[in-house]
Amino acid sequence: MKFSPEKYQLPDIPMTPFIDAKEIEGFLTGQKPEKQEVEAVIAKALHKQRLNMQDTATLIKADDPESVLMIKQAAKNLKEAVYGNRIVLFAPLYVGSYCMNNCAYCGFRMENREAVRTTLSREQLIQEVEALEDEGQKRLILVFGEHKQYLPEFIADTVRTVYSVKKGRGEIRRVNINAAPLDIEGFRMVKEAGIGTYQIFQETYHPEMYQLYHQAGPKKNYNNRLTALDYAQEAGLDDVGIGVLFGLYDWRFETLALVRHTNHLEACYNVGPHTISFPRMQEASNMVFNFNKQYKLSDADFVRMVAILRLAVPYTGLICTARENSDVRHEVLQYGVSQIDGGTKLEIGAYSEKSNTPQDLNREQFHVSDSRSLHHVIDTLLDDGYLPSFCTACYRKGRTGEHFMEFSVPGFIKRFCTPNAIYTLAEYLEDYASEAQKQKGYQLIEQQLTQLEKPLAALIRITLERVKRGERDLYL
């Protein structure tokens, strides 16, 4: 494919920003809430009602041990009520490391001369996807730098190539995107390629701190970044993901801003973000910026933040990536996280290399803390009683955006998600698992079936036999 660099330009987004830093800071000031206030907000959340800014601020300010324990227990109960014990799995695939931005925290920033710059060729892309399919992956998120090479045409063509790769019984059924803001035409183009979620992280919602960290390039435009997903919605791409990079500013401010962004999308488009991500800053190649240690988010506050988000946005998927170590990820799975990656490699081309060499920060965006294989991650989930899921059924059935909310808000989605998670786990067990893991997985499936209504359990058993006979991609 030929590219036209002259076509690359920042979308003109004249929308009025919806983040008011003083408003957010105002919610976070004042006295700590009384126990009764905290209990009232928790009760509202347990009734699966979206929390407003004041509600969320109440939970953030309630930092005494008793309140924190109440918040965490409520989040655990709410997560079980909405999601059951399933955990969705995916893998990131970095396509290109060229970037026109100079973000102080990023190993791929423009001025880092130590970074290895490359873009996967079509042949290399196919090799990477085949390697991921060999491990049993079904869901990918493609990551692109912001550069004139990575126009919407290139992203769409990459997506189509990924979907076309079939190796043995392997196939990628859902491709998400983490890339730069596009204009309406660009969003439409990538949507037509069949993507799932389009992620754009604000990194920090504080306008002044944003300018400090984003020193050059298109990403320096705070308002453009902030309102880009509105244009995705206008383009008909109603499945979007938001996130911040914790460690750039006060986590309390950022958490409340995430809720503000969620409420904005719901108010304007009747559907909030499909996912929220909350990576913490990690070591990156040739870092020279003196980051303020007062904004470093401790493990305890990280877990607390996840619990607060779960209560604030009960139906939004929460993603915890391999930036975090396995112990932290184990902890936050209890209190709200519903999606994690497994077998993660960030070096471009590393999946097909199949080597166990140490991470090379000059070839990746940041340090990975959890380098376990997908097999290992699944084994741990099974040991902990979680149901690993590679489900992509909602995208085939059109249960996205506003339609997803129609199903999920009343709680009906569990009737689809649990069976589909079981089917995809059975596929993995049949095609990729060791005998020991296969036995462990089917034991968990059997336990799960005993907890379902008998007609549904009977239907699942029939479909499981079809999976064992070799049928694939069965879903409700």
Of the listed ranges 68-77, 110-119, 281-290, 436-445, the least confidently predicted one is 281-290
The secondary structure of 149-215 as a DSSP string is: TS-HHHHHHHHHHHHH-EETTEE--EEEEE-----HHHHHHHHHTT---EE---B---HHHHHHHB-
Question: What's the pLDDT at 15?
Answer: 60
Question: What's the pLDDT at 48?
Answer: 86
Residue 226 has pLDDT above 50, yes or no: yes
Residue 177 CB partners (closer than 8 Å, separation 6+): 141, 142, 144, 155, 159, 190, 195, 197, 198, 199
At 419-430, the pLDDT tens digits run 999 999 999 999
Average pLDDT value over all residues in the chain: 91
Assigned architecture for domain 8-18+80-390? Alpha-Beta Barrel (3.20)
At 285-302, the pLDDT tens digits run 777 666 778 899 999 999
The secondary structure of 357-407 as a DSSP string is: PPP-GGGSSS--S----HHHHHHHHHHTT-EEE---HHHHHT--HHHHHHH
Question: What's the pLDDT at 400?
Answer: 60
Which one is predicted more confidently, 475 or 166?
Answer: 166
Percent of the chain with pLDDT over 90: 79
Distance CA 135, CA 343 (A): 8
Give the pLDDT mean for 262-277: 94
Cβ-contact 206, 21 below 8 angstroms: yes
Give the pLDDT mean for 233-259: 96
Residue 8 has pLDDT above 50, yes or no: no
Global model pTM greater than 0.85: yes
pLDDT band at 207 (very low <50, low <70, confident <90, very high): very high
Question: What's the pLDDT at 253?
Answer: 98
Residue 355 has pLDDT above 80, yes or no: no
